[in-house]
């Protein structure tokens, strides 16, 4: 009887360790592999553009927009040129950043449809300050 209890305890211990290892892998990998991409608003050269003009992301990634040159800037996602108009509105940051170095972040999640999300700077849209983020799944 004692031998059976000992075997049961060992089996329970092995199963617990296996469960912890699998849980750590499943829940830890997604977070560890998420990346933050930086987009400069206003190029170092002084051009009115987003740099880089195209970023490829996956769910869990974050894009950080930094006011770099020639403010004010913002990033408004184009409802007509995005896979989902409601997501475009959610991602948009309409408030103008006035000071150099100011920033904001947008996060891409699993519930967002994959595709090309086009965005622009409202004050400089006429100057061609637009870019895109490609969400891949």
Q: What is the dihedral of CA 83, 85, 86, 89, to 10 degrees?
A: 110
pLDDT value at position 128?
A: 97
∠ Cα 18 19 25 (to 5°): 90
Is 124 labelled as part of a ligand binding site?
Answer: yes
Average pLDDT over residues 29-44: 85
What is the pLDDT of the chain when averaged over all its residues?
88
Per-residue pLDDT tens over the stretch 14-31: 555 555 555 545 555 445
CB environment 69-81: b (16+ within 10 A), e (fewer): bbbbbbbbbbeeb
73 is known as an active-site residue:
yes
93 is catalytic: no
Specify the pTM.
0.77
Is residue 75 within 8 Å of residue 92, measured between CB atoms? yes
Q: Is 112 noted as a catalytic residue in this protein?
A: no
Q: What is the mean pLDDT of residues 90-114?
A: 98
- pLDDT-based confidence at 47, cuts 50/70/90? very high
Q: Would you call 129 a catalytic residue per the annotation?
A: yes
Catalytic member of 21, 73, 93, 112: 73
- Please tell me whether 4 is known to bind a ligand: no
């Amino acid at each position: 009887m004692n031998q059976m209890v000992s075997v049961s305890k060992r089996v329970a211990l092995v199963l617990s360790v296996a469960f912890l290892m699998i849980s750590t892998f499943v829940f830890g990998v997604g977070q560890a592999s998420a990346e933050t991409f930086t987009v400069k608003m206003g190029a170092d050269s002084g051009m009115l553009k987003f740099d880089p003009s195209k970023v490829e992301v996956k769910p869990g990634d974050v894009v950080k927009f930094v006011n770099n040159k020639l403010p004010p800037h913002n990033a408004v996602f184009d409802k007509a040129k995005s896979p989902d108009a409601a997501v475009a509105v959610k991602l948009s940051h309409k408030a103008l950043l006035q000071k150099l170095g100011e920033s904001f972040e947008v996060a891409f999640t699993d519930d967002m449809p994959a595709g090309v999300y086009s965005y622009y700077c409202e004050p400089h849209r006429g100057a061609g300050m637009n870019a895109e983020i490609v969400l891949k799944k």
